[in-house]
């Protein structure tokens, strides 16, 4: 074969694993968010890598050129898998609900009863297989000024469903800049749902296209009453 043909078939082989992954993903989850430009950049990179490997091996048959191209993406995929296992940078959007039992104005959280204190159960909801790069954060405020359990200012990460202590005098809870008044919290029996919408990113889809874990960013947080 001519070099141009080797490049073309090698590029086709380089894209095959990613195309198969896309087909399998949408077959299993047809309602998932559509890929954006990052996936197509990854396909282009794999095509180039497949073409280079095919040329490097000097393949002279169509089948050999395609097989050489298919083998090329495994290099990048294995490297990314090792990095993810070491760093664990993607955080799961949903986790198992925290166990909380109420007794009057006391709440049992991880085996500790604190009479006279109130806890709010916050449950983020979204697609269970999605991962977000930045976790939800919450912050208690009093008349527009930030407070927390110790009286000082500061945001805290909300990892999955959990019960959080409501400080004395708090007037609202901020979750990713979405304000929930204490009156609304009381009306929902100190238990609220957060309907979290996410969207794909170029970088997250690029990593996914290269064989890593797909990640999203938080687009909006809406509040609904827990049932």
- Whole-number pLDDT of residue 224: 72
Cα–Cα distance, 158 to 86 (Å, whole number) = 23
Report the DSSP beta bridge partners of residue 174: 139, 179
- Whole-number pLDDT of residue 79: 65
- Sequence ranges of the domains in the chain: 3-88, 92-225
- Whole-number pLDDT of residue 62: 86
- Whole-number pLDDT of residue 22: 85
Whole-number Cα distances in Å, 141 to 108, 134, 172, 221: 24, 22, 5, 18
DSSP for 32-48?
A: SPPP-HHHHHHHHHHHH
List per-residue pLDDT tens for the chain, 227 residues long. 788 888 898 889 888 888 888 888 888 878 777 888 888 888 888 888 888 888 887 777 888 888 888 887 777 776 666 655 555 544 444 433 333 334 333 333 333 334 457 888 888 887 555 677 677 888 888 888 888 655 555 677 776 778 888 888 889 988 888 888 999 888 888 888 888 888 888 888 888 777 777 788 888 888 875 44
């Amino acid at each position: 074969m001519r070099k141009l043909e080797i490049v073309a078939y090698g590029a086709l082989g380089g894209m095959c694993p990613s195309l198969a992954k896309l087909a399998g993903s949408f077959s299993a989850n047809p309602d998932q968010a559509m890929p954006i430009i990052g996936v197509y950049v990854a396909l282009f990179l794999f095509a180039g890598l497949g073409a280079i490997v095919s040329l490097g091996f000097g393949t002279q048959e169509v089948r050999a050129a395609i097989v050489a191209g298919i083998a090329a993406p495994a290099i990048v995929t294995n490297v990314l898998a090792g990095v993810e296992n070491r760093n664990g940078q993607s955080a799961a959007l949903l986790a198992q609900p925290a166990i909380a039992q109420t007794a009057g104005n006391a709440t049992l959280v991880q085996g500790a009863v604190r009479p006279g204190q109130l806890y709010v159960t916050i449950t983020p909801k979204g697609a269970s297989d999605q991962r977000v790069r930045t976790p939800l954060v919450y912050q208690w405020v009093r008349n527009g000024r930030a407070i927390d359990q110790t009286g000082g200012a500061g945001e805290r990460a909300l990892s999955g469903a959990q019960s959080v202590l409501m400080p004395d005098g708090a007037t609202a809870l901020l979750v990713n800049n979405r304000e929930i008044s204490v009156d609304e919290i009381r009306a929902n029996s100190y238990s609220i749902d957060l309907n979290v919408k996410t969207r794909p990113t170029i970088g997250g889809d690029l990593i996914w296209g290269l064989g890593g874990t797909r990640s999203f960013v938080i687009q909006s947080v809406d509040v609904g009453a827990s049932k």
